[in-house]
Chain A
């Protein structure tokens, strides 16, 4: 039994998982996730989620106190957030928003300072796919203009803040530190024992009203921003007779991003 990205994004995702695990257990099946995003499993492996401290994205973008500062790394809130209008409103109320992005033509809260990062084609790195397979790659071209790999920007930020654990020289060092012994990944990804069936809460259907469910189609959403903003997607939409939106416009060069950041540094609104 595989649950997909719509189940993962649902507010009752935890309940759906418990039900799915229970059904799999009762039928002798194996339970797993096919999540959206090219590196969702890798993010889980390295603990890119609130642990003992920290807040979830929902909490950060909720109706709580306004954010003081926010760093967006390869995130387009107007499309990537589960509730884009709420996310944009929350970010617009922040004192400072820094967007690490490879694409300039995307809707973002204003004012935002943009730092040009290299897309995955221009940097080395590692993905972990849905079955836990570690896949490292090399950058096939050099980053354009002042663009830099995102991990290098985070390293410098850590250095400037005087934080320990940021003394990396290569992406391979980052990978080794983050993933540890790759031979144990399968065990680390193994599904935990199912909870008892009685613990699975009932999902109460709504009656008499229309209920929206949503998935994130491939090439459209969180799965990969490159095809979403890329020239091919732009041409496909144009061929289909749809007016290209700002978010679906072709990406500008990273050098253009650098120029915009230089303007921001000079005091003009980016």
Chain B
């Protein structure tokens, strides 16, 4: 997925659209996002842990 800086978002917040087959495997729409390298220079994997209701 292409990524770009969005100055309208709060710090450490990433907006990833839902309802898209490319983002559906991430899991919950809201929560902590972890990113880790897959090995390729530009490849990365991400997953979402479910947000804990406050």
Contacts from A to B (Cβ < 8 Å)? 9-12, 15, 78-80, 82-86, 107, 201-217, 220-222, 228, 245-248
Q: Which of A85, A207, A211, A214 contacts B25 (CB 8 A)?
A: A85
Report Cα–Cα, A246/B22, bound state, in Å. Answer: 11
8 Å CB interface, B11-37 against A: 12-35
> What are the 7 tightest A-B residue pairs by CB atom distance, in nearest-first order?
A221-B19, A214-B29, A245-B21, A84-B24, A214-B18, A212-B33, A210-B33
B28 touches A82 (CB 8 A): yes
Supplied contacts A210-B33, A215-B18, 9 more A-B pairs, CB within 8 Å: A9-B29, A11-B52, A84-B25, A210-B14, A210-B34, A212-B28, A213-B13, A213-B29, A220-B19
Contacts from B to A (Cβ < 8 Å)? 9-10, 12-35, 48, 50-54
Report Cα–Cα, A107/B31, bound state, in Å. Answer: 24
Per DSSP, chain A at the interface is loop
A214 touches B17 (CB 8 A): yes
Report Cα–Cα, A80/B34, bound state, in Å. Answer: 23
Give the nearest-CB partner of A81 in chain B: B24
Give the nearest-CB partner of B51 in chain A: A11
B21 touches A212 (CB 8 A): no
| Chain A residues closer than 8 Å to B50, beta-carbon distance | 11, 83
Report Cα–Cα, A241/B18, bound state, in Å. Answer: 20
B54 touches A204 (CB 8 A): yes
Query: A198: shortest Cβ distance to chain B, in Å?
Result: 16
| Chain B residues closer than 8 Å to A85, beta-carbon distance | 24-25, 27
A–B Cβ pairs within 8 angstroms, 7 of them: A10-B29, A207-B12, A215-B18, A216-B17, A217-B20, A228-B19, A246-B21
Q: Which of A11, A86, A208, A248 contacts B27 (CB 8 A)?
A: A86
| Most chain A CB within a 10 A radius of its CB, from B10, B19, B22, B31 | B19
Query: B19: shortest Cβ distance to chain A, in Å?
Result: 2
| Chain B residues closer than 8 Å to A204, beta-carbon distance | 54
B48 touches A220 (CB 8 A): no
Give the nearest-CB partner of A210 in chain B: B33
Give the nearest-CB partner of B10 in chain A: A205
B30 touches A212 (CB 8 A): yes
Q: Which of A83, A205, A208, A213 contacts B14 (CB 8 A)?
A: A213
Report Cα–Cα, A85/B9, bound state, in Å. Answer: 27
Query: A167: shortest Cβ distance to chain B, in Å?
Result: 37
Give the nearest-CB partner of A36 in chain B: B19
Report Cα–Cα, A11/B30, bound state, in Å. Answer: 8
| Chain B residues closer than 8 Å to A209, beta-carbon distance | 12, 32-34
